[in-house]
Chain A
């Protein structure tokens, strides 16, 4: 079992930050603007026909969930396409492994960077939501650290997929069969609990469901039950984190 060194991971994170600082304006914009389209089309448009869900305006209901999906998309792109390019096309990792930074540090560094990027996107979105009056609790101050945790979680998932594939074309499967269903069936747009079995039961096993629960609770004032969702996210993330590390290491070191 190979355990990453924090110092090596930090150097990889620092490399990603250096490049992000050159491109952040054009890179940030699409990911930042996307949730507003959902907010406008569904929250305002569809919401006009729906009225309340669980005693909330529809737009208030979906806004916190979009924070979670935004973090998922940011971290997933980072851990899939961006990582694949560095691994197989630009061969950035081949250069790094011949320095004191080891292969396992690279993967950990990419987790940290995906978390950071999710926070950058998510927090700017959160600020706008707050300005629009869609956030009603001071507990929302805990959202940025939780967004970081979500970024780690979806980065670990994406990295696991990346570590297993040989061609960039396989990401179509990842996004169509994993990311999109989670986006639609994790309780962002409607309460999943009202669905017949086994949909709610299945949802319980997916990361985004718990992430959405936590975001919604922190945005409106949490109940103690939220701790179970937080615990689920922590266990899933840290339980799985070292698996892609070992597989990616095998791809870089023979």
Chain B
């Protein structure tokens, strides 16, 4: 094996290792020293609100941002020393669509493959099988501008796979897609994972992180605030059941005081009060007895957004 990190504690099964990784733009520190490790074959997520530093971290992985400090090794190579080598072996699905609008769908893959110095024959074969994989074979000769948002995103995924990468980096792969298109993208990503490709993705959708990621970190303000498996994060950081109360504005304080005494903890998000508990039936009965007027109430199991709210005091999508 070539390269590796100088003081790499990275195991042989790590595809990516970041140590004290920092990035500042002038005085603004976008990433404030993060440590994480991505194992071969897993799907690793970055969850956090806009401006958390997720995209900047992704950009450092594929060489569009240069780290200001710390270490980052991707597929065993130091990004500051051999970024061409890194880019040769990874695939990138950017947040913003940057397909070549002047080329047809299939041509987008052919031209992109040439950037990797692949032979014409292997590019052609791979392009056809990838179009098939992302269900765009019938649109092969269409103009990129004629594709729907979901189709463009699938074409971006196909494009990222043209060099048969060991690692695929996806920056918000389903932002802006309708639910049906999202599910199709998820299906493709799961298929990729099952074939052994390592995936790194950023998202601000909790369900996406919970559905796809084996492990994830939650980022906020340039820092990683917690790390783990989605289920474990929920278990460790919050109670299993949530009641969402929407009281009348004039009774919000009264309800908050009541819940503070009865629930395991309470969070406020705009005009909602979220009460966390192991026994929602009992809590609901207590609230009813108090006769505090409520506009509506919702019961649901706790999820990653509750972890985020608990750890930061803010909701993820504002």
Contact = CB atoms under 8 A, between A and B. Distances in A.
B63 A14 contact: no
A92 interface: yes
B25 to A, nearest CB: 7
Contacts of B63: 97-98, 253
Which label, helix, strand, loop or mixed, suits the secondary structure of the A interface?
helix
A91 B116 contact: no
A126 B107 CA distance: 34
Contacts of B64: 94, 97-98, 252-254
A229 B189 CA distance: 59
B133 interface: no
A17 to B, nearest CB: 10
Interface string A11-33: 10011001100100000000000
Given A14-B114, A18-B111, A254-B59, A95 B98 contact: yes
Interface residues of B, number: 27
Nearest to B97: A91
Interface stretch (B84-92, B221-229, B292-300, B305-313): B84-92
Nearest to B88: A100
Given A15-B111, A254-B64, 18 more contacts: A7-B117, A11-B117, A18-B111, A19-B102, A22-B102, A94-B94, A95-B100, A97-B63, A98-B62, A98-B64, A98-B87, A100-B87, A100-B117, A101-B115, A253-B63, A253-B64, A254-B25, A254-B66
B101 interface: yes
A102 B112 CA distance: 13
Contact of A100 (B25, B84, B96, B111): B84
B131 interface: no
A90 B101 contact: yes
A56 interface: no
**Which of A90, A96, A99, A101: most chain B CB closer than 10 A?**
A99
A92 B98 contact: yes
A96 B96 contact: no
Nearest to A7: B117
25 contacts: A11-B114, A14-B111, A18-B103, A90-B98, A91-B96, A91-B98, A94-B96, A94-B98, A95-B94, A95-B98, A95-B100, A97-B63, A98-B63, A98-B87, A98-B94, A100-B84, A100-B115, A100-B116, A102-B83, A252-B64, A253-B63, A254-B25, A254-B59, A254-B64, A254-B65
Contacts of B92: 98
Contacts of B116: 99-100
Contacts of A15: 100, 111, 114
B34 interface: no
Identify the 6 closest CB pairs spanning chains A and B, nearest first. A99-B115, A91-B98, A98-B92, A95-B98, A100-B88, A101-B115
A98 B89 CA distance: 11
Nearest to B159: A95
Nearest to A89: B101
Contacts of A18: 103, 107, 111
A254 B58 CA distance: 13
A253 B101 CA distance: 22
Contacts of A97: 63-64
Interface in A90-119: 90-92, 94-102
B167 interface: no
A95 B99 contact: yes
Interface in A71-102: 90-92, 94-102
B164 to A, nearest CB: 14
A1 to B, nearest CB: 15
